[in-house]
Amino acid sequence: MLLMHYLTLAAILFCIGFFGVVTRRNAVAILMSVELMFNAVNINLVAFNRFTAPDALVGQVFSIFVIVVAAAEVTVGLAIVILIYRNWRSIDADRVNLLKW
Amino acid sequence: MLDKAFIIPFLPLAAFIAIVFFTNRREKLSAGLAIGAVAVAWVMSIVCLIEMLGYHGEGAFQLEQAFDIVTFQNFRLELGVLLDPLTALMLIVVTTVSLMVHIYSLGYMHGDIRFSRFFAYLALFTFAMLGLVLANNFFLIFIFWELVGLTSYLLIGFWYEKKSAADAGKKAFITTKIGDLGFTVGILMMGMFLGTFNYIEVFDKIAAGQLSGGVLTTMAILIFCGAVGKSAQVPLHVWLPDAMEGPTPVSALIHAATMVAAGVFLVARSMTIFMASPDGAMVVAVIGMVTSIFAASIALVQNDIKRILAYSTLSQLGYMIMALGLGGYTAGMFHLMTHAFFKALLFLGAGSVIHAVHTNDIQEMGGLSRKMKITTVTFIIASLSISGIFPLSGFWSKDEIIATASHQPIFLIVSLLVAFMTAFYMFRLCFLTFSGTPRNQHAYDHAHESPRSMTWPLMFLAVLSVVAGWVGIPWLSHGFSSFVYHGEPHHVKPEIILMVASTVVALLGIGLAYLMYYRGAISPQAMGARFKPLYTLLYHKYYVDEFYDAVIIKPVFAATRFLWKFDAKVIDGFVNLNASSTLRLADIKNWFDIHIVDGIVNGLGLITGAASSALRLIQTGRLAHYLLAVLFGLIMMGLLSSSNLLNWILWQIGLQ
Amino acid sequence: MEAFTFYLFSFLIIISALAVVTMRNIFHCALFLILCLFSVAGIFVMLHAEFLAAVQVLIYVGAVSILIIFAIMLTSRLAGRDAPVVNEQFFLGGFMSLVLLFSLVYTLKETIFRVVAEPPAPQSTLRIGQMLMTDYVLPFELVSVLLLAVLIGAIVLARREGN
Interface of C with B (CB under 8 A): 87, 89, 92-93, 96, 99-100, 103, 106-107, 110
pLDDT tens, residue by residue, B541-550: 888 888 888 8
Complex ipTM: 0.88
Question: Above pLDDT 90, what percent of chain B?
Answer: 26
Residue B21, classified by CB atoms within 10 Å of its CB into exposed (0-12), middle (13-18) or buried (19+), is: exposed
Instruction: Inspect the interface and report whether the beta carbons of A23 and C93 lie closer than 8 Å.
Output: yes
pLDDT at B526: 79
C-alpha atoms less than 13 angstroms from C-alpha of B141 in its C-beta half-sphere:
29
Give yes or no for residue B127 having a pLDDT over 90. yes
Q: Which of B551, B365, B349, B366 is nearest to B461 (CA)?
A: B349
pLDDT at B637: 80
Among B624, B628, B635, select the one facing C103 at the smallest CB separation. B635
With beta carbons less than 8 A apart as the criterion, state whether B458 and B352 touch: yes
* Chain A nearest C-alpha distance from B636 (Å): 17
Instruction: Inspect the interface and report whether the beta carbons of B635 and C100 lie closer than 8 Å.
Output: yes
Give yes or no for residue B56 having a pLDDT over 80. no
Taking CB atoms within 8 Å and a gap of at least 24, the contacts of A4-9 are A4/C108, A4/C109, A5/C6, A5/C10, A6/A43, A6/A44, A6/A47, A6/A50, A6/A51, A6/C43, A6/C47, A7/A44, A7/A47, A7/C108, A8/C105, A8/C108, A9/A43, A9/C10, A9/C13, A9/C14, A9/C43
Spell out the alpha helix ranges (H) of B514-568. Answer: 524-530, 532-539, 544-548, 554-565
- Bridge partner list, B79: B67
Among A31, A36, A60, select the one facing C49 at the smallest CB separation. A60
Q: Which of B242, B389, B232 is nearest to B317 (CA)?
A: B232
Residue B478, classified by CB atoms within 10 Å of its CB into exposed (0-12), middle (13-18) or buried (19+), is: exposed
Q: Going from the N-terminus, what domains does chain A have, and what CATH number goes with each?
A: 3-100 (1.10.287.3510)
Computed over every residue of chain B, the mean pLDDT equals 86
Q: Can you tell me whether residue B159 is helix, strand or coil?
A: coil
Give yes or no for residue B125 having a pLDDT over 90. yes
Give yes or no for residue B69 having a pLDDT over 90. no
Which of C4, C40, C69, C72 to mutate: most A Cβ within 10 Å? C40
pLDDT at B40: 94
Q: Can you tell me whether residue B529 is helix, strand or coil?
A: helix
Chain A residues with CB inside 8 Å of B621's CB? 97-101
* Chain B nearest C-alpha distance from C99 (Å): 8
Q: Does A27 touch chain B (CB under 8 A)?
A: no
Residue B618, classified by CB atoms within 10 Å of its CB into exposed (0-12), middle (13-18) or buried (19+), is: exposed
Chain B residues with CB inside 8 Å of C107's CB? 638, 642, 645
Chain A residues with CB inside 8 Å of B618's CB? none
Q: Can you tell me whether residue B82 is helix, strand or coil?
A: strand
With beta carbons less than 8 A apart as the criterion, state whether B648 and A43 touch: no
Among C43, C52, C104, select the one facing A60 at the smallest CB separation. C52
Among C87, C103, C110, select the one facing B624 at the smallest CB separation. C87
Mean pLDDT to the nearest integer, B40-52: 91
Q: How far apart are the first and last CA of chain C?
A: 58
pLDDT band at B192 (very low <50, low <70, confident <90, very high): confident
pLDDT at B553: 80
Angle (CA) B567-B573-B575 rounded to 5° is: 90
pLDDT at B12: 92
With beta carbons less than 8 A apart as the criterion, state whether B326 and B353 touch: no
CB contacts < 8 A (A, B): 31
Chain B residues with CB inside 8 Å of C91's CB? none
With beta carbons less than 8 A apart as the criterion, state whether B159 and B165 touch: yes
Instruction: Inspect the interface and report whether the beta carbons of B624 and A93 lie closer than 8 Å.
Output: yes
Mean pLDDT to the nearest integer, B244-254: 88
Chain B residues with CB inside 8 Å of A101's CB? 616, 619, 621
Q: Which DSSP helix (H) or strand (E) runs through C133?
A: helix C124-133
Instruction: Inspect the interface and report whether the beta carbons of C99 and B635 lie closer than 8 Å.
Output: yes
Instruction: Inspect the interface and report whether the beta carbons of A99 and B623 lie closer than 8 Å.
Output: yes
Mean pLDDT to the nearest integer, B560-589: 87
pLDDT band at B449 (very low <50, low <70, confident <90, very high): confident
Chain A residues with CB inside 8 Å of B623's CB? 21, 30, 93, 99
pLDDT band at B655 (very low <50, low <70, confident <90, very high): low
> Considering only alpha carbons, which residue of chain A is nearest residue B625?
A22
Q: Does B626 touch chain A (CB under 8 A)?
A: yes
* Chain C nearest C-alpha distance from B641 (Å): 12
C-alpha atoms less than 13 angstroms from C-alpha of B571 in its C-beta half-sphere:
7
Give yes or no for residue B41 having a pLDDT over 90. yes
Instruction: Inspect the interface and report whether the beta carbons of B628 and C99 lie closer than 8 Å.
Output: no
C-alpha atoms less than 13 angstroms from C-alpha of B557 in its C-beta half-sphere:
6
pLDDT at C141: 92
Least confident of B171-180, B309-318, C88-97: C88-97
pLDDT tens, residue by residue, B378-426: 999 999 999 988 888 888 888 888 888 888 888 889 999 999 999 999 9
With beta carbons less than 8 A apart as the criterion, state whether B280 and B225 touch: no
How would DSSP label each residue in B131-143? HHHHBSBHHHHHH
* Chain C nearest C-alpha distance from B638 (Å): 8
Among B628, B639, B648, select the one facing C93 at the smallest CB separation. B628
Mean pLDDT to the nearest integer, B72-89: 84
What CA–CA distance (Å, rounded) separates B356 from B374? 13
B369 or B102: which leads in pLDDT? B102
What dihedral angle (degrees, nearest 10) is formed by the CA atoms of B48, B50, B55, B61?
40
Among B616, B621, B628, select the one facing A97 at the smallest CB separation. B621
What CA–CA distance (Å, rounded) separates B220 from B630? 101
Q: Which of B517, B171, B95, B109 is nearest to B351 (CA)?
A: B109
Instruction: Inspect the interface and report whether the beta carbons of A21 and B619 lie closer than 8 Å.
Output: no
Chain A residues with CB inside 8 Å of B616's CB? 101
Chain A residues with CB inside 8 Å of C25's CB? none
Angle (CA) B415-B419-B424 rounded to 5° is: 145
pLDDT at B358: 84
pLDDT band at A45 (very low <50, low <70, confident <90, very high): very high
Q: Does A100 touch chain B (CB under 8 A)?
A: yes
Q: Which of B354, B342, B432, B353 is nearest to B388 (CA)?
A: B342
Chain B residues with CB inside 8 Å of C99's CB? 635
What CA–CA distance (Å, rounded) separates B150 from B173? 7
What dihedral angle (degrees, nearest 10) is formed by the CA atoms of A40, A41, A42, A43?
50
CB contacts < 8 A (A, C): 235
With beta carbons less than 8 A apart as the criterion, state whether B620 and A100 touch: yes
Chain C residues with CB inside 8 Å of B650's CB? none
pLDDT at C63: 87
E strands along chain C, which residues?
none
Computed over every residue of chain A, the mean pLDDT equals 86
* Sequence-distant (≥ 6) Cβ neighbours of residue A36 within 8 angstroms: A13, A14, A16, A17, A20, C17, C20, C21, C33, C36
State the DSSP code for C49.
-
pLDDT at B645: 66
Give yes or no for residue A47 having a pLDDT over 60. yes
Q: Which CATH class is domain C2-114?
A: mainly alpha
* Chain A nearest C-alpha distance from B604 (Å): 21
Radius of gyration of chain B (CA): 39
* Chain C nearest C-alpha distance from A88 (Å): 11
What CA–CA distance (Å, rounded) separates B372 from C60? 142
Among A21, A30, A97, select the one facing B620 at the smallest CB separation. A97
* Chain A nearest C-alpha distance from C134 (Å): 12
User: Which phi and psi angles does C149 have, rounded to 5°?
Assistant: -60, -45
pLDDT band at B656 (very low <50, low <70, confident <90, very high): low
Chain C residues with CB inside 8 Å of A52's CB? 113-116
Per-position b or e across B146-179, b if 16+ CB within 10 A of its CB: bbbbebbbbbbbbbeeeeebbebbebbbebbbbb
> Considering only alpha carbons, which residue of chain C is nearest residue B641?
C107
Instruction: Inspect the interface and report whether the beta carbons of B622 and A101 lie closer than 8 Å.
Output: no
Give yes or no for residue B366 having a pLDDT over 90. no
> Considering only alpha carbons, which residue of chain B is nearest residue A24?
B624
- Write down the domain spans for chain C: 2-114
Mean pLDDT, each 10-residue run in order, chain C (163 residues): 88 92 86 92 89 90 87 69 66 87 85 81 85 90 92 84 60
pLDDT at B210: 82
State the DSSP code for B494.
P
Instruction: Inspect the interface and report whether the beta carbons of C78 and A85 lie closer than 8 Å.
Output: yes
pLDDT at A100: 62
pLDDT band at A9 (very low <50, low <70, confident <90, very high): very high
Instruction: Inspect the interface and report whether the beta carbons of A23 and C40 lie closer than 8 Å.
Output: no
What CA–CA distance (Å, rounded) separates B444 from B450? 14
Instruction: Inspect the interface and report whether the beta carbons of C89 and B642 lie closer than 8 Å.
Output: no
pLDDT band at B642 (very low <50, low <70, confident <90, very high): low
- What does chain A come to in residues? 101
pLDDT band at B598 (very low <50, low <70, confident <90, very high): confident
Least confident of B190-204, B393-407, B632-646, C45-59: B632-646
